[in-house]
Structure 1
Amino acid sequence: MLDKIKKTIDLIQSIDIGALQKLNEKVDLKKLMESVGSLNDDQLKGIVHLLNNANKKHEVPPIDADFYDISDRLTTDEREIQLKVRAFMEKEIALIVNEYWLHDSFPHEIIPKIAELNICGINYEGYGCAGKSSLLEGIIACELARVDASIATFFGVQSGLCMGSIYRCGSEEQKQEWLPKLQKFEKIGAFGLTEPEVGSGAAGGLTTTCEKTENGWKLNGQKKWIGNATFADIVIIWARDVADNQVKGFIVRTETPGFSVEKIKDKMALRIVQNGLITLTNCMIDEKDRLQNANSFKDTTKVLQATRAGVAWMAVGCARGAYENALAYTTQREQFGKPIAAFQLIQNHLVEMLSNLTAMQTMVFRLSELQDADKLKDEHASLAKVFCTMRTRDIVSRAREVMGGNGILLEYNVARFLADAEAIYSYEGTKEINSLIVGRSITGFSAFV
């Protein structure tokens, strides 16, 4: 008791008289002291606890978008590559991406830096490629898109669509000639399938034609939405043979007479990707540049099946980037005297986002396991593409919502994801087409026509 009295006296003596007088003007100190005196020990302890913690900074847990620790299932080598790509994107790309996105231009200076990562064509065997797993290829796509979906798309066109066409449909000579150069980014590639009037109906409706002549193959037609087209060295062109009506593939050098490209402007998504409208006018291609193992659209789908799985991973990365930026924002943005992350409605949005993201992550992980086991089917890739791109749209929408008006500003790093998600939702097969691929698989009926 004497100790408590001594402490009370010391406290009273330490009080500044001027401050006490000012306080007395706002509060009836006599009544306040009477109220404090009527409190029991537990109540007093509670008040002391509140006072002691009033000035302590609330510790926010680290942002962890891998909620189920899926990365724990990676090998040490795979994890090192994942973190290497993540560090590169955060250091080299994150600081410049908004500027390039805003001005609809491509940062060509990053190409040698990406080449140094040695990740292009990482799941192919030989030809300078690492021969790693398709799972790692997906992880890389996710890490690229986590910072910017445009850079992920540029990489996917080079590594997946262009190199994949040559790797799966080319002759040994074509592989030897092109794959090492593409892997090192000494040459830039593109992939031309979609046309101005033909997107989903490419299987049987290509209007670009190829015709065998004495001097080689003559190509005529147009291709639209071709990523990397404005600065590519080669473009894989898919055309319908007028002789047998089958789709064939060609390695077309962009300096070939009769080949021209016009940049597509005024896009609202993937603005860093340089999409082009290609026009082929009596463009002559040597037989040696025809993909020797591409003789029907079924051969084209070998490429699309693998890259469609990559797009699902890309959607996961886009969603993860939006979620992480939104979560960080909510822990820092204060309203009504505390961070908005402390409010129930905001937490509900965050949990919905994380739930969808976690489901997507586990889905694409299993998808890549099937691919590595050589069990991947069209319907597997299509289901993942449908689900992941749909859920990504929901996640980026909620991310913008929890950020209020700031969510539409580039500087807060969600508006770009919001826009880019729309392009990911549509390319590599629309939601409707991919749904019909899955529907045909589970019902046995084709509903395409």
Structure 2
Amino acid sequence: MLTGDLYRFQDLLAPAEADVVARVREFLATQVVPIANEHWSRASFPHDLIKGYADLGIAGTDQSNLLSGWLSLEMARADASMATFYGVHAGLAMGSIETCGSPSQKERWLPSMRSFDKIGAFALTEPTGGSDVAAGLRTTARRDGDRWILNGAKRWIGNGTFADLTVVWARDVDDNQVKGFVVEKGTPGFTATKIENKIALRIVQNADIVLEDCVVGDPNRLRGAATFKDTAKVLRATRSGVAWEAVGVMLAAYEIALNYAREREQFGRPIGKFQLVQDLLVRMLGNLTGSLGMVVRLAQLQDAGDFRDEHSALAKAYTTTRMREVVGWARELLAGNGIVLDYDIGRFVADAEALYSYEGTREINTMIVGRAVTGLSAFV
């Protein structure tokens, strides 16, 4: 049982699912955790680990949302950057093709993505737009016979520097609707440049992408992506994944702080014996337990087919806010040792800032939930 799973939510997994989680947890503990700080410090990506992720055999498989969520938790518990790498590839990129692709398109791309022979990226956010992307998307697509000409720019594209397949969302100049296109690596007019000097998710290779008369054949246009409502279907599912990742970060921070409190001595005794330290730990555990209960119920609703936008929006807004508190309290407990990578928590503190922002800010997700509960839209 996980130290931070006080109410034993993991017991809700079927035995076979628990075995998958145990196998993934072992891989993360032995392969990812030992190298995370080094790569985070260098802002480099451990490409040699991709085969290990492939060997896990979990990408794009027929699994419950509870299992899928728990795997996201475990990945973020090891390292938020590598959880993001996996989430972009298996969630956003593969999810776009699974949700919006035709049967032949799924057959064309998904097998090589499941095996990690082809790595995916998802290009929606733009340099001048984030929260307003539904109405303010500036990247354009113009049909020219049996091909499309894409022009525009994208920013913060995870896996963007090395992805083999990038799902690009662009506005059709003819009908003003957002459509999806799979742009293959090496396509002329497609340029990806690594974003430098990040203070969060430094292992993730985020890219600025420029599309200059980028020609994409019509077979690469996702057949089921006709409006932004189709894009939103992908985001609804992946937003819940980010909520699980936030819980994973909380779990890691709590475990780091708990272990430190047991081992660190001041005034001749472990600091875990002091009341104020125990207060911090219990606050962390409360946030973690409440958030874990929320995402578990969210997964149950998904598995039951009773899943709406406001469910994932509330989970993302709530868990990432609680996550910020938890990593801050953990850093406080470690005092000066909390700001060096040697004790791990500093990496989680920094990475939490990115999780708090991406897949919809707290404010945007709040308005999604507010619209659902009042029947009144506050969007402008």
TM norm structure 1: 0.84
Distance 1:312 1:361 in 2: 9
Where does residue 246 of structure 2 map in the other structure? Answer: 315
CA distance in 2, matches of 1:326, 1:266: 28
Partners of 2:106 and 2:146 in 1: CA distance: 23
Q: How does 1:25-104 map to 2 (within 5 A)?
A: 64-104=3-43
Matched residue type, 2:29: E
Task: Return the structure number with greater relative CO, CA threshold 8 A, min gap 6.
Answer: 2
Following TM superposition, where does structure 1 have runs of at least 4 consecutive aligned residues deviating by more than 3 angstroms? Answer: none
SS at match of 1:248: strand
2:310 maps to: 379
* Root-mean-square deviation over aligned CA pairs: 0.8
> 1:127-164 deviations in whole A, cap 9, x for unaligned?
xx3x1111111000000000100000000001000000
Cα offset, 1:73, TM superposition = 1.2
Aligned to 1:216: 147
Checking the alignment, whether the CA contact within 8 Å between 1:311 and 1:385 is kept in structure 2 is yes
What is the distance in 2 between the residues matched to 1:285 and 1:224?
20
* Deviation sequence 1:79-125 (CA, Å, 0-9, x none): 1111111111111111111000000000000000111001112xxxx
Q: Which runs of 5+ in 2 are unaligned?
A: none
> Secondary structure of 1:224's match?
strand
Hey, what does 2:100 align to over in structure 1? 169
Q: For 2:41, give the aligned amino acid.
A: L
Q: Which residue of 1 aligns with 2:69?
A: 138
| C-alpha distance in 2 between matches for 1:439 and 1:168 | 26
Structure with the greater alpha carbon radius of gyration: 1
Equivalent position amino acid for 1:418 in 2: V
Task: Measure the CA separation in 2 of the matches of 1:241 and 1:396.
Answer: 43
Q: Is the 8 A contact 1:63 1:327 kept in 2?
A: no
Using the alignment, how far apart are the partners of 2:193 and 2:13 within structure 1?
Answer: 42
> What are the equivalent positions in structure 2 for 1:22-421 lying under 5 Å apart?
64-121=3-60, 129=61, 131-421=62-352
Report the count of equivalent residues. 380
Distance in 2 of aligned mates of 1:408 and 1:148: 17
Supply the distance in 2 between the matched residues of 1:73 and 1:192 (Cα, whole angstroms).
35
Q: 1:318 to 1:439 in 2, by over 3 A?
A: same
Tell me if structure 2 keeps the 8 A contact 1:216–1:285. yes
Secondary structure of the structure 2 residue equivalent to 1:403: helix
Shift in Å, 1:72: 1.1
Question: How many angstroms does 1:214 deviate by?
Answer: 2.1
Query: Which amino acid is the alignment partner of residue 415 of structure 1?
Result: G
| Residues 311-361 of structure 1, C-alpha deviations (whole Å, 9 max, x = no match) | 000000011001101110010000000000000000000000000000011
Counterparts of 2:214 and 2:96, CA distance in 1: 20
Q: Secondary structure at the match of 2:204?
A: coil
How far apart are the structure 2 equivalents of 1:85 and 1:365?
19
Q: Deviations over 1:341-395 (max 9, x none)?
A: 0000000000000000000111000000111111110000000000000000000
Q: Tell me the TM-score normalized by structure 2.
A: 0.99
Gaps of 5+ in 1: 1-61, 122-128
Contact 1:246 1:296 in 2 (8 A): yes
Matched with 2:358 is 427
State the secondary structure of the residue aligned to 1:322: helix
Deviation string, structure 1 residues 297-321 (Cα, Å, up to 9, x no partner): 0000110000000000000001100
Residue 254 of structure 1 and its aligned partner are, at CA, apart by: 2.1
User: Does the Cα contact within 8 Å between 1:216 and 1:286 map onto a contact in 2?
Assistant: yes
Do 1:410 and 1:416's aligned partners in 2 also have CA atoms closer than 8 Å? Answer: yes
